[in-house]
Structure 1
Amino acid sequence: MPNLTQNLDYSQTLGGVEIRRDYENVPYRRALDAQLARNDAIGLGQASDLIWLLEHPPVYTAGTSAQISDVLDQRFEIVEAGRGGKYTYHGPGQRIGYVLLDLRQRARDVRGFVHALEGWVIDTLGDFGVESWRSEAGVGIWTRDVDGSEAKIGAIGVRIRRWVTCHGFSVNLSPDLSHFSGIVPCGIAEKGVTSLARLGLDVSAQQWDEALLARAEAFLAKLDVACPPVSAEKEV
């Protein structure tokens, strides 16, 4: 199994779930290999569930619905991610949460898992005074940009193998937003992308993690029962 502990700054457990935080950029391919290995180990009962918070060097990742026409300027490496969704960008200043949970031990509800994951991010953004929501515009987390238009501030993309989840979410704290212009993010050309920094908020990775993890127990509790139906189908 690839080593997840390199550059690891903090580790804890919460209700049997391992929580890991990295504060140095982790190359995407290495993180992907580590995720898939851990996913297999969880499925075999050889490892505990894991929530891993980290960032990547600049990279474009392609989901299972990605179309090459959505690549406008390939300035960064493109990696086939295996998650649901289309193209997205990851880079410094964007906090990633990889969520590897055994749904055989929880409600076997794929839509409910995605709904709860979105809600976890939405509630945490609210702790920083940012109102955000799910949108008919597409999968992800949306808010009002500085000009009042609806813009994406977080992305959701998951994969579930034999009822064990992997991948998860990303939230734009302070990334270089120009890097998103090399692709059509999530295949939605008519909507913009924003960040906490663009909205005038200076939130560090550590501050985000503390706020997010303060709500982790509530997020996990939601997975013990099937979540209510959501208004739009979600790509997973």
Structure 2
Amino acid sequence: MTSHPTTPLPASLEWSIAPGRLPYAPALEAMAERVAAIRAGTAAEAVWLVEHEPTYTAGTSARPEDLLDHRFPAVAAGRGGQWTYHGPGQRTGYVMLDLTREHGSVRARDVRDYVRGLEEWLIRTLDRFNIKGERRNGRIGIWVADRARGTEEKIGAIGVRVTRWVSWHGVSLNVDPELSHFAGIVPCGIAEHGVTSLHRLGVLATMEDADAALMSAWGEVFG
């Protein structure tokens, strides 16, 4: 993520999986470098799959009072949205695309359509585990409803930043994180609904299973 070719590359997409657990600050630095290189035409677009050390991250709309616990580092992320948690057992997908171009069904220069594409990517990923992920008006992210109990919980988060039409940040999918860690924030400013994970729903997927599902579902949305 830190070295770039010196000659322009053809349009392509580079997938990478970061080994181990990565602190959040180096990920921000690496994304910024890659976004600048994509904008300069010296690096390919990229999707970077990461597992972080426990961190609370603040979007541009985050309210200080929604950080309820200071046991983990709190970092200003620079993306849109409010507070979210990243940590072990959660797969974070950083998506760095040139949005001046169409990507599959996602229109060029349309940030709202891009966000909808990220939502669809998570929905189709969950479908591979026979889990029905759903959108909710006014609530960013992907939700799983328990209609028998009349409840719903968040399983995937979305937060984006676009710099001169190059995207960064992206999505997170709860595979098997410690769900009690989410209690240290008001996730995305929504206090009345909880969070869940693949394991909590009885799907004992590994991180490798989640990665395979994310990669498989990508082309159905972004081409």
Q: Distance in 2 between matches of 1:3 and 1:88?
A: 29
Partner of 1:90: 86
Out of 20, 38, 42, the position equivalent to 2:38 is 42
Determine whether 1:74 maps to 2:76.
no
Q: CA deviation at 1:38?
A: 0.4
Determine whether 1:109 maps to 2:122.
no
SS in 1 for 2:43: coil
Give unmatched runs, 5+ long, in structure 2: 5-10, 103-107
Q: CA deviation at 1:211?
A: 1.3
Q: CA deviation at 1:148?
A: 4.7
Give unmatched runs, 5+ long, in structure 1: 5-14, 222-236
Q: How does 1:1-236 map to 2 (within 5 A)?
A: 2=2, 16-106=12-102, 107-144=108-145, 147-221=149-223
| Cα 1:3/1:191, change in 2 over 3 Å | farther
Q: CA deviation at 1:22?
A: 2.1
Q: CA deviation at 1:111?
A: 0.5
Please list the CA deviations of residues 120-146 of structure 1 after superposition, one character each: whole Å capped at 9, or x if unmatched.
Answer: 100110110111111125100000259
Contact 1:26/1:54 (<8 A) preserved? yes
Q: CA deviation at 1:104?
A: 1.4
- TM-score, scaled to structure 2: 0.90
Q: CA deviation at 1:180?
A: 0.4
Return 172-181 or 135-144, whichever deviates more.
135-144
Q: CA deviation at 1:105?
A: 2.3
SS in 1 for 2:47: strand
Amino acid at match of 2:219: E
Partner of 1:11: none
SS in 1 for 2:37: helix
- TM-score, scaled to structure 1: 0.86
Please list the CA deviations of residues 152-203 of structure 1 after superposition, one character each: whole Å capped at 9, or x if unmatched.
Answer: 0000000000000000000100000000001000000111111111111111
Q: CA deviation at 1:21?
A: 1.0
Cα RMSD between the aligned structures?
1.6
Please list the CA deviations of residues 62-106 of structure 1 after superposition, one character each: whole Å capped at 9, or x if unmatched.
Answer: 000000010111110000000010000000000010000001122
Q: CA deviation at 1:26?
A: 1.1
| Cα 1:177/1:204, change in 2 over 3 Å | same
SS in 2 for 1:214: helix
Q: Distance in 1 between matches of 2:32 and 2:161?
A: 10
Q: Distance in 1 between matches of 2:209 and 2:30?
A: 25
